Amino acid sequence: MPDLPTPLSGRTALIGIALVAASAVFATINIARDNHSRAAVAKAITDGDPARAPEIFRRYGCSGCHTIEGIPGADGQTGAPLTGLSKRLYIAGVLENNSDNLVAWIVSPRSFSPRTAMPATGISQQEAKDLAAYLYAQ
């Protein structure tokens, strides 16, 4: 008959729990640092503020057409999901993915793709920079 594992001693169990807790704290700190770094880079390349983006997304109805990570209710299915936009090569399949092009697309999509379903919304240049910063920070 094989030997059955014996229960961990109280001290060994506490050490195990402490190691798991320390690992979780370390992972949480690294995720927070990574999120902060991405947001800082996104602000620098767009000259926008990602903190202003959620209100702008709601005001202009972006969530009606797009799924947008971190925006409650942004589960639209008409436009492309905006999750992972920073990793894509192209914006809407027509523009090289860089911050200037993303801002220009948000402000005036039909000047790049006349048949796009994305409407002209009246979003200002600064608001578009804020949206771009948010999307690149994700």
SS3 for 28-81 is HHHHHHHHHHHHHHHHHHHCCCHHHHHHHHHHCCHHHCCECCCCCCCECCCCCC
What is the tens place of the pLDDT at every residue in 117-126?
999 989 999 9
What is the tens place of the pLDDT at every residue in 46-73?
999 999 999 999 999 999 999 999 999 8
Contacts 24+ apart (CB under 8 A), 71-75: none
Q: How far apart are CA 75 and CA 39, in angstroms?
A: 23
Please compute the mean of the pLDDT values over residues 28-57 and round it to a whole number.
80
Give the H or E element holding residue 130: helix 125-137
What is the per-residue pLDDT for 29? 44
CA 105 from centroid of its chain's CA atoms: 18
